[in-house]
């Protein structure tokens, strides 16, 4: 057992903070490089924490969603069932950047933007590595908006708020990053001018990431006072008004327990206007999420390197076969499969379906696939895959946004290993 881990999680103040934060939330326990244990889980007592650490636990993570019974949550549940279990959700903005100064700057501007929107219950914590988590508790949101229960507006509610705030601070972030000139930004980021400047303007989100895509059902964040495996630092709550003065050294164990909490300062209903403005903003203009550049794959990626969603879907579907066919065709088209190879995979998959798709329907889609010159990406992760009950993420899934990216990374990693073996021979 790691003595440093044991000493940290043996602290009674740390245990109490973790137990308090876990209430009503799904817990996922991380075991170092082995990844997460079984989900869902819960933590009820301080003694649970040290028992998990004895078994190899390194950190504890929770869902942004609040549940009436977290242990009943399952990836196989339909949207309606999840909605009935969900009591609410917290807004957790995840800011990440390899340049810590830019992470602080972006976090500072987001906190200011929330305060500008009359949110008094803003909380902030250092992520434990290079970023910050900024939170607004669910109690700060209204029970209903536009005739809908706000508890059911997940993930679209927090996703639209995150996007709205991201665009709200875009110009300010751009201006602050350029105080020392574009040359300084290029040097600090290590990126080329062409990759940073779009339409004559610096795009700050080519460097700083405010996650709006990965806000999805059962998405996790590291709990307050938990250690980060990579850095060895503590995910420490801090004064949201002092983020610019924060230094990572403050999070080295043993940490001084903070007088600030995370998501524990609600002001009922104060976030109503923020939510309404975000929903209105999303209707007025299409989201301009960054388009990921995917390296072209010339050889068909083996099915063994497919992401879990594709592997599970290929075992055969009971419901949602037409939607999965659309996903599958686009996925195969972007992972090196020729039309003939694609047809072979699709036909084998259709045989495994509980009730196969009709032949004329299949032929029509395969013919259209052959005629298309440009291949498009399948839908991004989480949303639709969760609806089809095929989203069973592994460790790599937590770091990618599209199934094609998963296959590309796996294929590239395999190529590197083969190259090393060949050199060794």
More confident residue, 321 or 213: 321
Quote the CA–CA distance of 174 and 109 in Å, as a whole number.
Answer: 11
**Confidence band of 120 (pLDDT split at 50, 70, 90):** very high
pLDDT of res. 41: 93
Q: Check whether 423 has a pLDDT greater than 50.
A: no
Closest CA to 218 of 36, 43, 373: 36
Q: Check whether 420 has a pLDDT greater than 50.
A: no
Instruction: Say if residues 184 and 233 touch (Cβ distance below 8 Å).
Output: no
Quote the CA–CA distance of 296 and 334 in Å, as a whole number.
Answer: 7
Q: What is the pLDDT of residues 149-164, one digit of tens each?
A: 999 999 889 989 999 9
Give the percent of the chain with pLDDT over 70. 92
Q: Check whether 415 has a pLDDT greater than 70.
A: no
Q: Check whether 198 has a pLDDT greater than 90.
A: no
Region 262-276: mean pLDDT is 95
Strands (E), 229-292: 237-238
Q: What is the pLDDT of residues 368-407, one digit of tens each?
A: 888 877 778 888 887 788 878 898 887 788 778 899 999 9
Query: What residues contact residue 167 under an 8 Å CB cut-off, 6+ apart?
Result: 281
- Where along the chain do its domains lie? 75-284, 303-424
pTM, two decimal places: 0.69
**Confidence band of 278 (pLDDT split at 50, 70, 90):** very high
Q: Check whether 66 has a pLDDT greater than 50.
A: yes
């Amino acid at each position: 057992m790691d003595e440093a881990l044991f000493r940290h999680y043996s602290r009674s103040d740390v245990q109490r903070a973790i137990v308090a934060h876990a209430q009503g939330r799904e817990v996922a326990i991380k075991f170092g490089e082995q990844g997460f244990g079984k989900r869902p889980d819960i933590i009820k007592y301080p003694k649970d924490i040290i028992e998990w650490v004895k078994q190899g636990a390194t950190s504890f993570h929770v869902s942004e969603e609040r549940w009436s019974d977290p242990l009943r949550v399952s990836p196989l549940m339909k949207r309606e069932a999840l909605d009935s279990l969900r009591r609410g959700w917290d807004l957790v903005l995840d800011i990440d950047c390899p340049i810590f100064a830019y992470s602080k700057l972006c976090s500072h501007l987001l906190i200011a933007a929330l305060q500008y929107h009359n949110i008094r219950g803003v909380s902030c914590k250092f992520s434990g590595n290079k970023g910050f988590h900024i939170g607004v508790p669910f109690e700060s949101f209204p029970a209903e908006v536009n005739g809908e229960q706000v508890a059911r507006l997940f993930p679209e509610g927090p996703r639209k708020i995150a996007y709205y705030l991201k665009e709200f601070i875009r110009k300010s972030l751009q201006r602050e990053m350029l105080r020392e000139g574009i040359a300084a930004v290029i040097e600090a980021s290590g990126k080329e001018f062409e990759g940073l400047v779009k339409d004559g303007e610096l795009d700050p989100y080519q460097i700083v990431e405010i996650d709006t895509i990965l806000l999805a059902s059962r998405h996790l964040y590291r709990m307050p006072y938990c250690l980060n495996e990579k850095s060895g630092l503590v995910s420490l709550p801090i004064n949201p008004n002092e983020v610019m003065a924060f230094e990572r050294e403050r999070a080295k164990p043993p940490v001084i327990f903070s007088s600030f909490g995370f998501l524990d300062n609600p002001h009922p209903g104060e976030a109503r206007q923020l939510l309404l403005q975000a929903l209105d903003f999303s209707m007025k203009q299409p989201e301009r999420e960054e388009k990921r550049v995917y390296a072209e794959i010339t050889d068909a990626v083996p099915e063994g390197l497919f992401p879990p969603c594709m592997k599970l879907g290929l075992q055969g579907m009971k419901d949602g076969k037409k939607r999965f066919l659309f996903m599958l065709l686009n996925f195969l088209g972007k992972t090196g499969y020729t039309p003939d190879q694609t047809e072979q995979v699709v036909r084998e998959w259709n045989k495994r379906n509980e009730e196969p798709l009709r032949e004329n329907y299949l032929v029509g889609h395969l013919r259209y696939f052959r005629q298309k010159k440009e291949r498009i990406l399948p839908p991004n992760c989480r949303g639709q895959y969760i609806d089809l009950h095929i989203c069973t993420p592994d460790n790599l899934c937590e770091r990618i946004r599209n199934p094609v990216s998963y296959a590309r990374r796996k294929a590239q990693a395999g190529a590197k290993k083969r190259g090393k073996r060949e050199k060794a021979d």
